[in-house]
């Protein structure tokens, strides 16, 4: 009986802590919008909200000046590889420019950024990297070029933890980087605040009080 009571209390604490971890990224798994074909393509300079896109890149922006690559695809399930979360993924092509989104962060808060990536190989075995940036008009918290050291057509999760030094609007940006011809698949993008240790202490204390009350009521 004690073990069951303890499990209930721990479960309540875990649920309470995870419930507050709101994803600050809009449409992180690219599921919003309906694809009427197996894929849609945007070329650099096209608007993510263009009429012919049926608004299937809700929350996102794409590209920028100076990019002339083969663009970006939003793709449904393929024969060989599925999305890591849901039914749709984004495929970033070489020199296409970044996929980016604005987020509002608070000073002194620690955040965890995570996303799933895949190096899609069809007819070649080229190596690729991604360029990741998180920045505001006055601060850069992440600016890395990361080579994908993973097998082809296999999903892998990248995670970064950082603390915002100021309350401001930041840009999360990711792009295919390098000369490789393989597409960079992206899915399941998440940016959440990391609970401080004091939060867990408060949750545990609340759980202990609730447990003591429950035990008293049960014994009576």
Q: Specify whether 47 is located in the same domain as 132.
A: yes
Q: What is the pLDDT of residues 152-176, one digit of tens each?
A: 788 999 999 999 999 999 999 999 8
Q: What is the mean pLDDT of residues 118-145?
A: 85
pTM of the complete model: 0.75
Q: Which residues of 201-213 are buried (b: 16+ CB within 10 A; e: fewer)?
A: eebeeebeeeeee
Residues 62 and 86 in one domain: yes
33: containing domain: 22-194
Residues 100 and 138 both lie in one domain: yes
Q: How far is CA 121 from CA 23, 41, 178, 202, in A?
A: 30, 19, 15, 48
CATH, residue 97: 2.60.120.260
Mean pLDDT value across residues 1-24: 51
Q: What is the pLDDT of residues 98-107, one digit of tens each?
A: 889 999 999 9
Q: Are residues 180 and 218 in the same domain?
A: no
pLDDT at position 42: 61
Question: Which 3-state string (H, E, C) describes the chain?
Answer: CHHHHHHHHHHHHHHHHHHCCCCCCCCCCCCCCCCCCCEEEECCCCCCCCHHHCCCCCCCEECCCCCCCCCEEEECCCCCCCCCCCCCEEEECCCCCCEEEEEEECCCCEEEEEEEEEEECCCCCCCCEEEEEEECCCCEEEEEEEECCCCCCCCEEEEEEEECCCCEEEEEEEEEECCCCCEEEEEEEEEEECCCHHHHHHHHHHHHHHHHHHHHHHHC
Pair 29, 52 in one domain = yes
pLDDT digits (tens, 9 = 90+) for 72-94: 677 765 545 688 998 888 888 87
pLDDT at residue 213 greater than cutoff 80? no
Compute the mean pLDDT over every residue in the chain, rounded to the nearest whole number.
74
What is the predicted pLDDT for the residue at 211? Answer: 40
207 and 164 housed in the same domain: no
**Whether residue 79 is found in the same domain as residue 118:** yes
Highest mean predicted confidence (pLDDT) among 11-15, 18-22, 36-40, 67-71? 18-22
109 pLDDT above the threshold of 70: yes
Per-residue tokens: 65: 């000046």
State whether 122 and 201 are in the same domain: no
Do 103 and 38 share a domain, yes or no? yes
CA dihedral sign of residues 23, 24, 25, 31: positive
Number of structural domains (the chain) is 2
Q: How confident is the model at residue 62 (pLDDT cuts 50, 70, 90)?
A: confident
């Amino acid at each position: 009986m004690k073990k069951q009571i303890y499990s209930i209390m721990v479960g309540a604490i875990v649920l309470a802590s995870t419930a507050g971890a709101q994803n600050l990224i809009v449409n992180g798994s690219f599921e919003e919008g309906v694809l009427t074909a197996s894929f849609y393509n945007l070329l650099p300079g096209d608007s993510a909200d263009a009429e012919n896109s049926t608004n299937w890149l809700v929350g996102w922006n794409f590209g920028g000046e100076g990019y002339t690559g083969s663009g970006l695809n939003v793709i449904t399930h393929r024969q060989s590889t599925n999305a890591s979360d849901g039914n749709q993924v984004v495929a970033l092509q070489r020199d296409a420019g970044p996929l980016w989104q604005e987020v509002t962060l608070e000073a002194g808060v620690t955040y965890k950024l995570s996303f799933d990536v895949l190096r899609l190989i069809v007819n070649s075995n080229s190596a690729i990297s991604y360029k990741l940036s998180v920045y505001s008009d006055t601060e850069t918290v992440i600016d890395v070029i990361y080579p994908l050291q993973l097998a082809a057509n296999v999903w892998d999760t990248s995670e970064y933890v950082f603390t915002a030094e100021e309350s401001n609007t930041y840009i999360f940006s990711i792009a295919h980087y390098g000369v490789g011809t393989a597409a960079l698949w992206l899915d399941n993008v998440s940016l959440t605040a990391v609970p401080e240790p004091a939060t867990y202490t408060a949750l545990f204390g609340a759980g202990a009080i609730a447990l003591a009350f429950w035990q008293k009521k049960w014994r009576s």
